[in-house]
Amino acid sequence: MALLLGVPALLALAAAPALASGGKAPGQGTPDALRIVPRDPLKLVVSLGGQTIKVYRGGQLIRSSRVSTGQPGHDTPAGIYSILQKKVWHRSNIYSQAPMPFMQRLTWSGIALHAGHVPDYPASHGCIRLPRDFAPELFSMTQRGVQVVIAKGDPAPEAIFHRALLNPQPLPSLTLPWPPAPPILEARLGRTRVVDPVSGAQIGREPPRAPSIALADMEAEFDHLRLYAKRSRAPLHILITRRNGAERLRDVQRLLGRLGYEPGEIDGYMGPDTARAVAAFQKDGGMRADGLVSEELIRALYARAGEGAPANGHLYVRQNFRPLFDAPVRIRRGEAPLGTHIFTAMDFPADARQARWLALSVTGTDHSGDGASSPDAAQALDRMDLPDPLRNRLERLLMPGSSLIISDSGLGPENISGTNFIVHAN
């Protein structure tokens, strides 16, 4: 089709606008994290206040256009989205089969990018209308999964360096020698000592493990490497937010079970078995045995189980539009606002040990007009406390284009399987 541009044409389109807008060409003083790298991920940024859309390749602006977003009463919600579906020709199943050419869906509830009438003001029913000459061009540049940020202001991605951000872990090496050299046993003064066959140094006083155990360990190592090599190359999408009631209740059930109170299924639902277990724990601890989950109960459970302070945050991971795993985390100064921020890993080679990251804050500095300030991206990272095992697991799976979202907004009802994270920003 004529509307689908070839790679050379797209690269030409990508380079020209950046130079025309005053950007520096690669190699002319541009910081490494902001140079145009063809394999860096695209990001679309829609400004509700400016009624514009900007296309970034990594940290460089490569294209922009006017848009028309939702009119009062049909507002386009600010937040972080990704393209879920693309159709050259689509009709709305909500608004009387209205045509939506070059549709790029952001939610399953009816928000999309598409070609349409673009006056100089918000006029849609919530979608983001694109000029008819720009819509096919944008359609040809994107693919399913490209992230779209909708903000009240006009934020731009910036390079960020922070110890809390993840770095890739390359393919691990075997921890056992191959083939394993058998230790030398020497009997001396009635004791058995184990000597390294190469250096002659003593490496222990216990006899070596049986060959069958050593072989099992070796097989486990190879299984680990095989799984690592077969891991998905799709980007990870990570969300850190505040814990909700179901997650807190699962923690209560887990700790009650660990302490022997038999709460039933660890499912986040307050069934009769869980209520009886809570009441029994309360009675044993000298509390009012009402069977209700309170802050006092949670603190007592954590103290009795020896797990320190309760987790106040939760980390979710998605890949290939499906939930991968989740885990509790701690947020320092958990009562203070976090804002909404997205961090994106740029392209890196397979053997890289460090990733380039860009940050973009969706929320501004004025938090709800109440005088409290929303933290910037680096301040939000400062408050994240990821346990080392969780960090190591994430870093082993990290791929170029992966993203980390930190937000006060939790998982809303639109975050079903088949989406990456949809996070609304207040």
Three-state SS for 13-38 is HHHHHHHHCCCCCCCCCCCHHHCCCC
Buried-exposed string 195-205: b where 16+ CB fall within 10 A, e elsewhere? beeeeeeeeee
> Percent helix, strand and coil across the chain, each rounded to 5?
25, 25, 50
Least confident of 17-26, 45-54, 389-398: 17-26
> Which helix H or strand E contains 105, and what residues bound it?
strand 103-105
- Rounded percentage of the chain residues whose pLDDT exceeds 90: 58
Q: What are phi and psi of 258, to 5 degrees?
A: -65, -35
What are all long-range contacts of 111-115, with beta carbons under 8 Å and residues at least 24 apart?
A: 111/76, 111/77, 111/81, 113/44, 113/53, 113/83, 113/138, 113/148, 114/90
Confidence at residue 413, expressed as pLDDT on a 0 to 100 scale: 82
390 has a pLDDT exceeding 80: yes
Mean pLDDT for 240-246 is 90
Q: What is the pTM of this model?
A: 0.75
Is there a domain that residue 61 lies in? yes
* pLDDT attached to residue 95: 57
Residue 324 φ then ψ, to 5°:
-105, -55
Give the pLDDT score at 371: 42
Q: Looking at the structure, do residues 240 and 382 belong to the same domain, yes or no?
A: yes
Last residue of a domain, one of 229, 261, 283: 229
**60-84 mean pLDDT:** 95
Look up residue 199 and give its two tokens: 């250096």
Q: Which of 259, 289, 305 is the last residue of a domain?
A: 305
Same domain, 145 and 212: no
pLDDT grade for 321, boundaries at 50, 70 and 90? very high
Does some domain include residue 196? yes
Q: What is the pLDDT of residue 358?
A: 97
* pLDDT score, position 177: 47
How would residue 173 be classed by pLDDT, with cut points 50, 70 and 90? low
The first and second tokens of residue 336, run together, are 């203070």
Query: Is residue 41 domain-shared with residue 25, that is, in the same domain?
Result: yes
Q: What does the alpha-carbon distance between residue 257 and residue 264 come to, in Å, rounded to a whole number?
A: 8
pLDDT at 308: 78
Domain presence at residue 163: no
- 8-state DSSP, 89: S
Beta strands in 205-349 (DSSP E): 236-242, 313-319, 322-331, 340-345
- Is residue 341 domain-shared with residue 277, that is, in the same domain? no
Output the average pLDDT for the chain. Answer: 81
**pLDDT at residue 30, rounded to an integer:** 52
**Residue 402 falls within a domain, yes or no?**
yes
- What pLDDT is attached to residue 37? 80
Is 331 within 8 Å of 383 (Cβ atoms)? yes
Q: What confidence tens digit (pLDDT) does each residue in 261-273 have?
A: 999 999 889 999 9
- Give me the pLDDT at residue 92, please: 66
In a domain, 300, yes or no: yes
pLDDT for position 221 = 66
Q: What is the pLDDT of residue 229?
A: 73
Q: Under a CB-based contact definition with an 8 Å cutoff, are residues 140 and 5 in contact?
A: yes
- 415 is a domain residue: yes
- How far apart, in whole angstroms, are the C-alpha atoms of residue 300 and residue 277? 14
Q: Are strands 184-188 and 85-87 parallel, antiparallel or unpaired?
A: unpaired
Number of separate domains in the chain? 4
Lowest mean pLDDT among 107-116, 152-161, 224-233: 224-233
- The yes-or-no verdict on residue 7 having pLDDT over 50 is no
| Among candidate residues 265, 301, 307, 266, the one with its CA nearest the CA of residue 280 | 301
| Pairing outcome for strands 52-57 and 42-47 | antiparallel
Higher-pLDDT residue of 99, 299: 299
Q: Are residues 208 and 131 in the same domain?
A: no
Residue 359 inside a domain? The answer is yes
Torsion over CA: 319, 399, 139, 81 (sign): positive
CA-CA distance, 390 to 412, in Å (whole number)?
A: 24
By residue range, what is the domain housing residue 258?
Answer: 246-305
> Looking at the domain assignment, is residue 176 inside a domain?
no
Residue 203 has pLDDT above 90, yes or no: no
